């Protein structure tokens, strides 16, 4: 894993801060407060970016806003031929036909978090483009999305056992499920019985990951069979809200030390693991007459290697949907994703790839 770079993180945060309010000029003090650092830390960065044309500095008010050089860089990025170029017109059509928000997620391409996704494009209700969707997900263009079961099922449903293991492993609070347990290599004849070296063995799978594997295996099979996924909010939000309220009551009954607080959190997490059935949020089959509170109906776009290049999502469903309505939306987004896959000369992985 690559080492973090605080200076680079501050640069990204600065651009995000200014881009979020493009019509506002910021003083040095306002930028420093927005980034949570001192003015002395920010000032050299602002000077360098202004010299490069990434920022504009008002000569009288001494305020900053985004400059023409960064606009040119954005335009250059937009002209490249990518899967997003092919998916954008499809997204506008989906939004206009369904009245829903449409979201395109693309792989981050980050070696440190190679399984993460990023918001590559957004289309608002009615078919017009915008940088933010404020409904169910409240995401912005460029936001990083970390697929954690049951979310992101289409990224792993066709990807084989190793990808599913990594996805399920994100449920492990310590992030160690299935990881190799470190052990030193020992030379033959170095005192180990039989002269055999130690070998690394997988750590035992956590209870949460084992339960998720049992619950989600049928769901992933259903996603592959249909070609699209339904991710729902049914019962999860209500149960989590009740657990949070119970924890708040516990914490409000007296003075708490750190150990007591941690114990309460552990009890809450244990109850979450027992009460939640992940299959509720990622149904293996869709019952025509049942009602579903959909958070996303999504399908994958594949490239020539059979790798997911884009996840195309219909979001911002205002009311519960019947299974028939969900299936109609699922077929729409599947067909749209299939058209983009064909345009990319992509292919859907077959059973031999799993």
pLDDT digits (tens, 9 = 90+) for 41-83: 999 999 999 999 899 999 889 999 998 888 777 776 665 568 8
Decide whether 6-76 matches 80-173+204-252+263-353 in CATH topology: no
CATH C-level class of 80-173+204-252+263-353: alpha beta
Mean pLDDT over the full length of the chain: 78
**Positive or negative torsion for Cα 317, 333, 20, 58:** negative
- Closest by CA to 272, choosing from 246, 308, 291, 297, is 246
Evaluate if residue 129 carries a pLDDT over 50: no
Kindly list the domain boundaries of the chain, sorted by start residue.
Answer: 6-76, 80-173+204-252+263-353
Given CATH 1.10.10.10, say whether it is the number of domain 6-76: yes
Unique residue bearing structure tokens 């990622």: 282
pLDDT digits (tens, 9 = 90+) for 257-304: 555 655 665 555 555 555 556 777 899 999 999 999 999 999 999 998
Q: Which long-range contacts (CB under 8 A, 24 or more apart) does 196-202 make?
A: 202/178
Phi, psi of 321 (to 5 degrees): -115, 150
Query: Chain-centre distance of CA 303, in angstroms?
Result: 20
CA dist., res. 104 & res. 123, Å (int): 9
* 3-state SS, residue 286: coil
pLDDT digits (tens, 9 = 90+) for 84-96: 989 999 999 999 9
CA dist., res. 314 & res. 334, Å (int): 11
Q: Give the residue-averaged pLDDT of 223-241.
A: 76
Stronger pLDDT, 273 or 157, i.e. the higher one: 157
Unique residue bearing structure tokens 């399908």: 299
Phi-psi region of 121 (alpha: psi -120 to 50; beta: other; left: phi over 0): beta
| Token pair of 169 as six digits | 């492993």
Helices (H), the chain: 6-20, 28-35, 39-52, 68-79, 83-98, 161-169, 207-226, 236-251, 258-275, 278-281, 323-343
* 3-state SS, residue 343: helix
């Amino acid at each position: 894993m690559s080492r973090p770079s605080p200076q680079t993180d501050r640069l990204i945060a600065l651009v995000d801060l200014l881009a979020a309010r493009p019509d506002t000029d910021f003083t040095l003090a306002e930028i420093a407060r927005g980034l949570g650092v001192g003015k002395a830390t920010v000032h050299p960065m602002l000077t360098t970016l202004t010299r490069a044309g990434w920022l504009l500095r008002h000569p009288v008010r001494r305020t900053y806003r985004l400059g023409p050089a960064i606009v040119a860089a954005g335009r250059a990025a937009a002209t490249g031929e990518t899967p997003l170029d092919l998916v954008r017109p499809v997204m506008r059509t989906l939004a206009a036909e369904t009245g829903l928000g449409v979201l395109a997620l693309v792989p981050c391409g980050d070696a440190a978090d190679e399984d993460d996704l990023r918001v590559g494009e957004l289309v608002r209700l009615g078919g017009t483009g915008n940088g933010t969707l404020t409904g169910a997900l409240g995401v912005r263009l460029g936001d990083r999305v970390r697929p954690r079961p049951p979310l992101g099922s289409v990224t792993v449903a066709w990807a084989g056992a190793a990808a599913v293991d990594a996805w399920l492993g994100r449920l492990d609070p310590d992030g160690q499920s299935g990881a190799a347990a470190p052990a030193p290599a020992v030379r033959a004849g170095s005192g180990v019985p039989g002269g055999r070296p130690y070998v690394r063995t997988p750590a035992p799978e956590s209870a949460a990951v084992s339960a998720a594997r049992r619950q989600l295996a049928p769901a992933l099979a259903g996603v592959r069979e249909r070609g699209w996924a339904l991710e729902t909010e049914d019962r999860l939000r209500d149960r989590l809200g009740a657990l949070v309220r119970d924890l708040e009551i516990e914490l409000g009954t007296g003075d708490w030390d750190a150990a007591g607080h941690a114990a309460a959190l552990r009890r809450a997490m244990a109850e979450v693991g027992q009460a939640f059935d992940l299959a509720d949020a990622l149904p293996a089959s869709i019952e025509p007459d049942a009602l579903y509170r959909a958070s996303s109906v999504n399908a994958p776009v594949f490239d020539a290697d059979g790798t997911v290049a884009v996840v195309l999502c219909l979001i911002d469903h205002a009311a519960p949907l019947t299974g028939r309505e969900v299936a109609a939306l699922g077929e729409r987004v599947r067909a749209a994703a299939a058209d983009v896959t064909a345009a990319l000369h992509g292919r859907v992985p077959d059973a031999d790839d799993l």
